[in-house]
């Protein structure tokens, strides 16, 4: 049996997740029998990829956040995507994904636990994820028929700011003729995102 295609897929995934350079371009989507987890040795982070999600390494799919390195990044620093777990079936009407990114930029680190102006006041709180304490918030945005809902987490790990964003986004189905049917409900989207977040682990 020829194992070369599987070996190449594994090497591509490991390179994308473990790459040390902040200038490394996004890797291609994980395919086939690639490992169902993504790790970053520098952060000591690992997250399982649930069967109902697809692993990506870019943030190019949303309208309102302009593929920023973290949701509501504003003007504070630059970072890079580490992983995006996209719920299968996601389309332009309703999509859901869990994003993980990091930045060693001095400005991003200094403002790591800032919350966006649009954050819901009652949602801002500390929350432990796998034993690491994050600043949590919920916020949203809407324009031109598009919407974005975010549950964000921010924490310093060593000299880097780590951002974890749970996003549900899309367009209003009633804008289409006839109205479009979402691939899944928002309740289902949030359920899947929180289940995926529970698979986050830290090795140190």
What is the per-residue pLDDT across 70-85, written as a single tens digit (0 to 9) for each?
998 877 678 999 999 9
Q: Which helix (H) or strand (E) holds 197?
A: helix 186-197
Q: Check residue 76 and give its pLDDT.
A: 66
pLDDT given for residue 94 in this prediction: 95
Evaluate whether 34 touches 66 at the Cβ level (below 8 Å): no
* pTM, entire model: 0.81
3-state secondary structure of 69: coil
Predicted confidence at residue 151, as pLDDT, reads 97
Q: How far is 124 from 121, CA to CA, in rounded Å?
A: 6
Separation of alpha carbons 127 and 81, rounded Å = 22
Q: Got the DSSP string for 116-133?
A: -TTS-GGG-EEEEETTEE
Which pair of tokens denotes residue 91? Answer: 């389309």
Within the chain, which residues score under 50 in pLDDT? Answer: 1-33
Q: How far is CA 73 from the centre of its chain?
A: 13
User: Taking all residues of the chain, what is their mean pLDDT, rounded to a whole number?
Assistant: 83
Q: For residue range 111-152, what is the model confidence (pLDDT) as tens digits?
A: 999 998 889 989 999 999 999 999 999 999 988 889 999 999
Domain ranges in the chain are: 4-202
Q: What is the pLDDT of residue 167?
A: 96
> Pairing between strand 160-171 and 94-103?
antiparallel
CA dist., res. 94 & res. 105, Å (int): 33
Which residue reads 């636990």 in tokens? 113
Q: Which two tokens stand for residue 191?
A: 């359920």
How far apart CA 125 and CA 136 sit, in angstroms, is 5
Residue pair 43/162 in contact (Cβ under 8 Å)? The answer is yes
């Amino acid at each position: 049996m020829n194992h070369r295609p599987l070996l190449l897929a594994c090497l591509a995934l490991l390179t994308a997740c473990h790459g040390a350079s902040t200038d490394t371009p996004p890797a291609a989507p994980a395919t086939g029998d690639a490992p169902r987890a993504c790790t970053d040795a520098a952060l000591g982070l690992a997250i399982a990829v649930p069967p109902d999600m697809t692993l990506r390494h870019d943030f190019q799919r949303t309208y309102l956040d302009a593929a920023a390195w973290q949701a509501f990044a504003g003007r504070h620093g630059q970072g890079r995507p580490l992983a995006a777990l996209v719920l299968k079936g996601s389309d332009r009407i309703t999509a859901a994904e869990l994003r993980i990114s990091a930045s060693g930029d001095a400005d991003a680190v200094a403002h790591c636990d800032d919350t966006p102006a649009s954050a819901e006041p009652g949602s801002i709180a500390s929350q432990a994820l796998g034993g690491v304490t994050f600043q949590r918030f919920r916020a949203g945005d809407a324009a031109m028929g598009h919407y974005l809902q975010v549950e964000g987490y921010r924490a310093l790990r060593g000299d880097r700011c780590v951002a974890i964003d749970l996003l549900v986004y899309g367009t209003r189905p009633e804008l289409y003729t006839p109205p479009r049917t979402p691939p899944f409900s928002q309740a289902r989207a949030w359920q899947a995102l929180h289940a995926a977040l529970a698979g986050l682990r830290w090795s140190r």
